[in-house]
Amino acid sequence: MTQQHTSFIYKAFIYGFSGLTALLIVIILGYITIKGIVNINPSLFSLKYNSENVSLLPSLINSILMMIITLFVAIPLGLGSAIYTVEYAKKGSKFIFLVRLCSVTLSGIPSIVYGLFGLLFFVTKLHFGLSLLSGSLTLAIMVLPSIFRTSEEALLSVPQTFREASFALGAGKIITIFKAVIPSAIPGILSGVILASGRIIGESAALLYTAGTVAQTPSSLFSSTRTMAVHMYVLSSEGLYLKQAFATGFVLVLIIIGMNALSVFLAKKVGVKNG
């Protein structure tokens, strides 16, 4: 078999599996859209939830609050760790190798395991109970490896000449990092943060163990809450509100697609501005 034939076979496999993946995504999104859009009605967006309107608005508000608190905790830790490993740690350090290995390992752990950890530590040990705070801290641990890795890759992609030019102008290490390195790495960092936000919005398993299922807006950080993903799960598991569950799923998909699109748009916008 010639090299040309081999190359053709490889391309056929790549295009074939890529097309199959795209087709599966279209089928799933199309099914959710068809089943969900016809069940959208004003009562689903009532401020108060009850068994008649099965409103998703409180859960939407809870999801936004959960995302804000989670990112407030995870971004400083993830970005700070990335800055240390790229800018301060010795090259080839075994400690840094261990940190990166752990981050990759943590990225592959099922979310239900994070939920069990959150239940044992935040809910039980620290006595936070099933609450907005417990759920947010659990999700912060879950998305931290992702934010760390994307931030680290973004910082590593900044040319070394940027740092050298800043040092040549008399800037110190801190000024160089915050005035030259981070602004150039913002597109990659921002993309990672928004993708992590999408995972937060779509998470359900871990929150069942840590945040609870109360379908109302929280009065404090220690109030039990129900996010949109949990709301959809509860409705579908009860078997009485399948139409509303599909409608909630449709809205959830729209939000996640919108966040991913926003990630691409902002990354390009910031990248052009910095360029």
Q: By three-state DSSP, how is residue 134 classified?
A: helix
* Residue range 252-275: mean pLDDT, rounded: 73
pLDDT for 2-25, tens place per residue? 666 677 788 888 888 888 999 998
d(C-alpha 214, C-alpha 130), whole Å: 10
| pLDDT at site 147 | 92
Asked if pLDDT for residue 210 goes beyond 90, the answer is: yes
The letter for the amino acid at 3 is Q
Show the DSSP H helices in 38-131 as ranges: 57-83, 94-107, 111-118
Token pair listed for 39: 């069940």
Residue 19 has a CB neighbour count (10 Å cut-off) of 10
Which sequence spans correspond to the domains of the chain?
A: 39-274
E strand or H helix that includes residue 28: helix 3-37
pLDDT-above-90 percentage for the chain: 30
Burial readout 154-169 (b: 16 or more C-beta within 10 A, e: otherwise): bbeebeeebbeebeee
**C-alpha gyration radius of the chain:** 22
What pTM was computed for the model?
0.86
User: By the 8 A CB rule, do 132 and 221 touch?
Assistant: yes
d(C-alpha 240, C-alpha 35), whole Å: 15
| The CATH number of domain 39-274, selected from 2.40.40.20, 1.10.3720.10, 3.40.47.10, 1.25.50.10 | 1.10.3720.10
pLDDT for 94-109, tens place per residue? 888 888 888 888 888 8
Give the closest residue to 185 by CA, choosing from 165, 158, 147.
Answer: 158
d(C-alpha 204, C-alpha 231), whole Å: 9
Q: Which range has highest mean pLDDT (4-18, 41-55, 59-73)?
A: 59-73
Least confident of 58-62, 64-68, 112-116, 168-172: 168-172
User: By the 8 A CB rule, do 193 and 75 touch?
Assistant: yes
pLDDT for 86-139, tens place per residue? 888 887 778 888 888 888 888 888 889 999 999 999 999 999 999 999 999 999
E strand or H helix that includes residue 266: helix 242-274
d(C-alpha 34, C-alpha 72), whole Å: 36
d(C-alpha 165, C-alpha 158), whole Å: 12
User: By the 8 A CB rule, do 259 and 252 touch?
Assistant: no
Among all chains, which residue has been given the structure tokens 């890529």? 18
Handedness of CA 127, 130, 135, 136 (dihedral sign): negative
Residue 202's contacts (CB-CB under 8 Å, 6 or more residues apart) are 229, 252, 256
| pLDDT at site 255 | 87
pLDDT for 145-197, tens place per residue? 999 999 999 998 888 888 888 888 888 888 888 888 888 888 888 888 888 88
User: By the 8 A CB rule, do 244 and 79 touch?
Assistant: no
* Residue range 24-35: mean pLDDT, rounded: 89
